[in-house]
Every structure is written in C-alpha cells, then in structure tokens.
Amino acid sequence: MGMGKTIQMIALLLSEQSADQPTLIVCPTIALGQWKAEIARHTEPGSLNVELYYGPNRDRRLSNFQTSTIFLTTYSTIETDHRRQEYGFKRQGETVREKSPLFQVTFFRIVLDEAHSIKDRASNTARAVFQLKCERKWSLSGTPLQNRVGELYSLIRFLQVSPFSYYFCEKCDCKMLQWSFKKDHKHCDGCGHVSHQHYCWWNREVLRPIQQHGATGEGRAGFAKLSRLMPRIMLRRTKLERADDLGLPPRVVITRRDFFNEEEEDFYEAYLVFIMVVLNIRFQALFRVQDQVCLVRAAGHVA
C-alpha cells in the first residue's frame, strides 16, 4: 500500500491503449471510487474514457465493450455475472441464464487490484476471474502470499504462466489450464486418457514437495523452482527501497502521563467494582458447571 502501484498502472494505461479493445480493472468494492478519482486526478480530461460496470442497473449491452473504454468493476460483480450466466437464477419460477458481456469480449488488458482476493483457487470468485479473456494481464498486490505457498497458484493461474499453471498428461502432449473431464468424468475431454494419468504441474513440482518436506530435500527443490519463477513475473518494491519517494517522516515516540481528577477517579473505581462483581459471579457459575460435570463423570465411572 502506498508503493505507487495505482499511479504506475495509470501511466501504463496512458502510454499504451488499444484502438478497439476495452481494458478491465477489477478491484474490491471499497476501492472502486478511489480508482476513478485517481484516474481523474492524474490524467488530462478526455485522455481516458472510464466507465463503471457496477450496481444493479449496470449496462450489460455488448456494444459498449467494443471500444477502448476502461471499465472499472468489482470481484463480486464478476462472480455474480459468471454465476448468473453459468448456473442461472430464478425468475417467476423458471431458471434463467443471462449472458454477461464480461465473458463474451476479449479485453486488451485486465488489471486485478488487491489480487490476493482470488487466493482461494476453488472459490467462485477465482473461478469467474479465470474465465475472463484478454491479451495482457496484471496482478497488483501488496501481499501475494499471506499464509501458505498454495495461495500463489491463483495468481499464477490467472497469468497463465507455463508450465506452472497447467495440467499435463503422462501419456501424451495434452496440456490444459483447467481440469476438463465433463464427458463421463473419467476421460479427458482433450486426449481421452483417464484422469489419474493427468497431473497439475504446480501441485507435483512445487506445492506438494514443500508441504511434505518443508525446506529440505524435495521441498528445497520446489522452493528453487519457485525462486526461479518469481523474479521473472514480479516487479517488487519494498518500503526501504522507495523511502525517498514515500517521504516518510522519522518516527517520534512521545510518552504522556495523565491522571484522573476526583470525579473521574470515583467513576473508575465504581465501574471497576462492578466489573469485578460480574466476573466473580460468572466464575462461580463456571466452577459449579465444572463440578457437576465431574460428578456426572465420576458417577458414570462407578456405574
């Protein structure tokens, strides 16, 4: 946060645009207004055509997406559009499927802001984002990895980094981005080989070795593969590197000691006594419950 990701992306939008393809910026709902305000602040009027694709009354006409407009939308909007298109929704007792322009057009560029929002690869939001089509992709995040290595896969899958994001077949040259066994749930839709002859490169070469062996043996080899990948796909900044640009002032610690006046002291003492009485009553009730449980267990043991 505050490392210049947004302003650099705006500069990229200004320097390179498509004449007939739109750009899609996806962000959390809370950042929607901020993106629009930042674009307006740092660009000349009319240099970028920005539209919001958000809200119950959003314009779903496909014709709007045939220009070089920059569309701002949210993760929840993409998930909703994908769910309504793939699974439908109830209208007057009938299931209705509604096509979304987001999944019918090929964008020139897609930018995911706070990209760790799709860290769970099995979530509906991540699955919806994976279905978006474009020529160029960016993932912006201050925390690409929060808890475990597996969370990186969603970003790598979105970027379609080969071979890390693909499934492969051990019997042929079959290569696919998603698990495709829809015909009979046993044989690959592409090559026809059974499911156990296919594997996810990320799981086999990176994730599973690290989970099972940590930083030793096969796990160390998994970390080495990850280390070779990340510098090639990631532009990384630290606050220390950008200290001059950030202009952070030196930290000043001030210790101040305040004292209650007579009225505040009386209120504090009265409230403290009240809290102690309440806690004492609750602890006594808890001990009674524990004693009863012990008696029941003892009686059951004797029986």
Residues 62 and 41 in one domain: yes
Task: Please give the Cα distance from 80 to 57 (Å, whole number).
Answer: 13
Residues 110 and 220 in one domain: no
**Number of independent structural domains in the chain:** 2
Alpha helices in the chain (DSSP H): 5-15, 32-42, 75-86, 124-130, 152-159, 201-202, 208-213, 218-233, 243-246, 262-302
**Is 59 a member of any domain?**
yes
Domain hosting residue 143, numbered range: 1-160
**Is 284 a member of any domain?**
no
Cis previous bond, 28, omega within 30: no
**Is 152 a member of any domain?**
yes
- Domain boundary at 160, 184, 202, which? 160
Residues 16 and 71 in one domain: yes
Neighbours of 219 (CB within 10 A): 18
Written as six digits, the tokens of 34 are: 């901020």
- Domain boundary at 195, 217, 235, which? 235
Residues 156 and 206 in one domain: no
188's CB contacts (< 8 A; 6+ apart) are 169, 174, 176, 180, 181, 194, 195, 198
Secondary structure of residue 172 in the 3-state scheme: coil
Residues 181 and 106 in one domain: no
**Is 58 a member of any domain?**
yes
Burial 54-78 (b: 16+ CB within 10 A, else e): eeeebeeeeebbeeebbbbbbbebb
Residue 35 contacts residue 72 (beta carbons within 8 Å)? yes
Residues 4 and 81 in one domain: yes
268-271: Cβ within 8 A, 24+ apart = none
Residues 131 and 230 in one domain: no
Residues 100 and 194 in one domain: no
**Is 22 a member of any domain?**
yes
Instruction: Give me the tens of pLDDT residue by residue for the chain, a chain 303 residues long.
Output: 556 788 888 898 888 888 788 999 999 999 898 899 999 888 888 888 888 999 888 888 888 887 878 899 999 999 999 999 988 888 877 888 888 889 999 999 999 998 888 988 889 999 999 999 999 999 988 877 777 888 888 899 999 888 888 888 888 888 888 777 777 778 787 787 888 888 888 888 888 888 888 888 888 998 898 888 888 888 877 666 666 666 667 789 999 998 889 999 999 899 988 888 888 877 777 666 566 555 555 555 544
Residue 166 contacts residue 179 (beta carbons within 8 Å)? no
Residues 146 and 3 in one domain: yes
- Domain boundary at 213, 235, 257, which? 235
Residues 151 and 175 in one domain: no
CATH number at residue 121: 3.40.50.10810
Residues 148 and 10 in one domain: yes
Rg, C-alpha atoms of the chain: 28
Angle, CA of 166, 104 and 81, to the nearest 5°: 90
Residues 20 and 131 in one domain: yes
